[in-house]
């Protein structure tokens, strides 16, 4: 591997991996706290205690760093969802488990929620956001479609519903985490119930 390979396709040593992770972690909190633009690269490297050169060794630019953070987050969210629905078979149950895991994850990662909001506002990042959203919506829509096909719920626009579900998760994460409000399990239950009712159309089902 050549020393002058670009930051993206560099094979990292363990120490390298740690450094990279530290930079990403610190940047994430700073970006979330102060915003992307108000956070200078120098603050990030200072916070981690390395020189500026290190930063540009691991990331080709500040933009690229944000993109990496965002991609990692999406990967982590989906991994969580997949883990949550593993074993379940009933589409409605899959839906519920998915919603619950998304909600939990979002609430546990308020910084990411902020970063995502920001990313939507500048085209160089929005492109990635669109792709990410398509994936997330598809994941949810798949369960809804399956439920429709199985006759469990009436026919309808699965993607619109999936979008609505996604909106509820994000909004609650924002309201209760970002806004600084308290948040307990009952809120999650209310939200999950709200979504299931919205999709399924009756309130007889009780969440597990």
Partner DNA sequence: AATGAATGAGACTTCATTCAT
Partner DNA sequence: TATGAATGAAGTCTCATTCAT
Q: Which of 112, 140, 150, 129 is nearest to 198 (CA)?
A: 140
Residue length of the chain: 208
How far is 69 from 119, CA to CA, in rounded Å? 11
Question: Interface with a second copy includes 201 (CB under 8 A)?
Answer: yes
| Other CB atoms within 10 Å distance of the CB of residue 162 | 23
Question: Please, what is the minimum distance in Å from the beta carbon of residue 125 to a second copy?
Answer: 9
Question: Of 9 and 154, which CB lies nearer to a second copy in the complex structure?
Answer: 154
In this chain, which of 21, 56, 146, 178 binds DNA, going by CB under 7 A? 56
Question: Please, what is the minimum distance in Å from the beta carbon of residue 86 to a second copy?
Answer: 27
Residues 108-127 binding a second copy (CB under 8 A) are 114-115, 117-118, 120-123, 126
Picked from a second copy, DNA, none, the partner binding residue 167 (CB below 5 to 8 A depending on kind) is: a second copy
Question: Interface with a second copy includes 137 (CB under 8 A)?
Answer: yes
Query: Locate tokens 């998304």: which residue?
Result: 102
Return the half-sphere exposure (C-beta side, CA atoms, 13 A cut-off) of residue 127. Answer: 6
- Tokens standing for 71? 């991609």
Question: Interface with DNA includes 8 (CB under 7 A)?
Answer: no
Give the chain's radius of gyration (CA, Å): 20
Q: Which of 136, 167, 165, 171 is nearest to 153 (CA)?
A: 165
Q: Compute φ and ψ for 148, nearest 5 degrees.
A: -65, -50
Residues 44-103 binding a second copy (CB under 8 A) are 45-46, 51-52
Question: Interface with a second copy includes 199 (CB under 8 A)?
Answer: yes
Binding part of the chain for DNA, among 32-40, 113-121, 151-159, 181-189 by CB under 7 A, reads 32-40
How far is 84 from 87, CA to CA, in rounded Å? 8
Picked from a second copy, DNA, none, the partner binding residue 35 (CB below 5 to 8 A depending on kind) is: a second copy
How far is 92 from 157, CA to CA, in rounded Å? 16
Question: Interface with DNA includes 26 (CB under 7 A)?
Answer: no
Question: Of 31 and 105, which CB lies nearer to DNA in the complex structure?
Answer: 31
* Residues making contact with DNA (CB under 7 A): 1-3, 10-11, 13, 15-16, 19, 37-42, 50-58, 60-63
């Amino acid at each position: 591997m050549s020393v002058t390979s670009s930051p993206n396709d560099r094979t990292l040593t363990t120490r390298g991996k740690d450094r990279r992770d530290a930079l990403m972690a610190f940047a994430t909190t700073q970006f979330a706290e102060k915003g992307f633009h108000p956070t200078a690269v120098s603050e990030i490297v200072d916070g981690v205690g390395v020189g500026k050169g290190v930063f540009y060794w691991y990331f080709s630019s500040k933009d690229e760093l944000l993109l990496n953070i965002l991609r990692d987050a999406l990967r982590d969210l989906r991994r969580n969802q997949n883990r949550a629905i593993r074993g379940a078979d009933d589409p409605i149950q899959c839906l519920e488990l998915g919603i619950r895991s998304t909600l939990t994850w979002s609430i546990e990662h308020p910084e990411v929620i902020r970063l995502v909001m920001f990313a939507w506002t500048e085209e160089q990042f929005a492109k990635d956001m669109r792709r990410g959203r398509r994936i997330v919506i598809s994941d949810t829509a798949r369960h809804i479609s399956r439920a429709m096909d199985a006759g469990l719920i009436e026919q309808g626009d699965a993607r619109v519903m999936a979008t609505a579900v996604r909106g509820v998760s994000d909004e609650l994460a924002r309201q209760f985490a970002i806004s600084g409000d308290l948040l307990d399990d009952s809120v999650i239950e209310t939200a999950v119930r709200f979504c299931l009712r919205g999709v399924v159309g009756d309130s007889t089902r009780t969440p597990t």
